[in-house]
């Protein structure tokens, strides 16, 4: 059975494997604080349907409570340990979901899938200041294939070892502003991560969707170019990997694990 990956924009993807729908970092709004969606239509209501949703870290463009509130009752929600305490009202507003808190190394069974939490190198705070903190994570979805969703992360020495062998990788290649801070992958670092992980397939995410209001003319290449740049660099550094640069709402079907 092939695995199907759909990119809805930013870090939001649907991974369908073994009859289970996995949704990553759901974000279903046209505007978030100072950000607005500049490319791609909003995901349709069908995108809200999932058996399990994965949240990589506490930043509001990844843990977005109003978007999570749209998920159907009894949907499983996997979040970093401490998220319910760190995000005011999370448990109350998402009482209709089955929330599981995890740390790196934890395994969660969902139908015929196992979701394994892996480390990420990223700021785990909810805000830039304050004590609201939980570990930033990535996830490996293990079913017919092993699909790595990196969330937000910087490149780190033990990445390949801690993630383990994977068949597909959803890698962030940009951001939502003209400059990337610590704990992020740009196209070049994502290509290096791809060379270390050596999956069969990869999909670039986390670029070309949201941009700060009023900054359209500030370093616009950082908004438009990361996907194409990642494709070019991946061909140089990891030529054995098939890279699929999807448009918003587009899907790709991949072969099952080798």
Please report, for residues 90, 99, 142, the alpha-carbon distance to residue 79 in angstroms, rounded to integers and kept in the order given: 11, 7, 17
CA torsion sign, 145 to 9 to 94 to 151? Answer: positive
Bridge partners, residue 24, by sequence = 13, 54
Q: Does some domain include residue 59?
A: yes
d(CA 18, CA 80): 24
Q: Does some domain include residue 252?
A: no
Q: For the domain that residue 12 is a member of, what is the CATH number?
A: 3.60.15.10
Count of structural domains, the chain: 1
Q: Does some domain include residue 28?
A: yes
Q: Does some domain include residue 74?
A: yes
Q: Does some domain include residue 176?
A: yes
In this prediction the pTM is 0.96
Q: Does some domain include residue 250?
A: no
Could you report the per-residue pLDDT of 106-141, keeping only the tens digit for each? 999 999 999 999 999 998 777 665 566 789 999 999
pLDDT at 129: 53
Q: Does some domain include residue 251?
A: no
pLDDT at 107: 98
Half-sphere exposure of 215 (CA within 13 A, CB side): 18
DSSP the chain: --EEEEEEETTEEEEEETTEEEEES----SEETTEEE-SSPPPPGGGG--SEEE---SSTTTS-HHHHTTSPTT-EEEEETTHHHHSTTHHHHTTTSEEEEE-TT-EEEETTEEEEEEE--S--BSSSSSS-B---EEEEEESSSEEEE--S----TTHHHHH-S-SEEEEE---SSSS--TT---HHHHHHHHHHH--SEEEEES-SSEEETT-TTSSTHHHHSHHHHHHHHHHHH-TTSEE--PPTTEEEEE----
Could you report the per-residue pLDDT of 193-235, keeping only the tens digit for each? 999 999 999 999 999 999 999 998 899 999 999 999 999 999 9
Q: Does some domain include residue 106?
A: yes
Domain span at residue 28?
A: 3-244
d(CA 57, CA 239): 31
Residue 66 has pLDDT above 90, yes or no: yes
Bridge partners, residue 230, by sequence = none
Between 187-197 and 226-237, two packed helices, what is the crossing angle to 10 degrees?
40
Please report, for residues 18, 109, 212, the alpha-carbon distance to residue 112 in angstroms, rounded to integers and kept in the order given: 6, 7, 40
């Amino acid at each position: 059975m092939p695995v199907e990956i759909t990119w809805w924009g930013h870090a939001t993807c649907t991974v369908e494997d073994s009859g289970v729908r996995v949704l990553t970092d759901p974000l279903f709004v046209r505007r978030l604080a100072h950000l607005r969606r500049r490319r791609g239509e909003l995901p349709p209501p069908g995108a809200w349907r999932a058996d399990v949703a994965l949240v990589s870290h506490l930043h509001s463009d990844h843990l977005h409570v109003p978007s999570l509130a749209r998920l159907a009752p009894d949907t499983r929600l996997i979040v970093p340990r401490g998220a319910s305490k760190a995000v005011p009202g999370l448990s109350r507003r998402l009482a209709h979901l089955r929330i599981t808190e995890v740390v790196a190394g934890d395994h969660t069974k969902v139908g015929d899938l196992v979701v394994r939490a892996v480390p990420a190198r990223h700021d785990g705070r909810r805000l830039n200041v304050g004590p609201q903190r939980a570990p930033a994570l990535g996830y490996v979805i293990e079913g017919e294939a092993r699909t790595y969703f990196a969330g937000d992360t910087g490149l780190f020495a033990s990445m390949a070892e801690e993630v383990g062998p994977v068949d597909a990788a959803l890698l962030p290649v940009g951001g939502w502003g003209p400059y990337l801070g610590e704990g992020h992958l740009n196209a070049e670092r994502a290509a290096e991560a791809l060379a270390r992980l050596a999956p069969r397939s990869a999909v670039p995410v986390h670029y070309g969707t949201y941009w700060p209001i009023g900054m359209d003319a500030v370093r616009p290449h950082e908004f438009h170019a990361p996907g194409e740049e990642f494709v070019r660099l991946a061909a140089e550094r990891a030529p054995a990997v098939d890279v699929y640069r999807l448009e918003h709402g587009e899907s790709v079907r991949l072969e099952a694990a080798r």
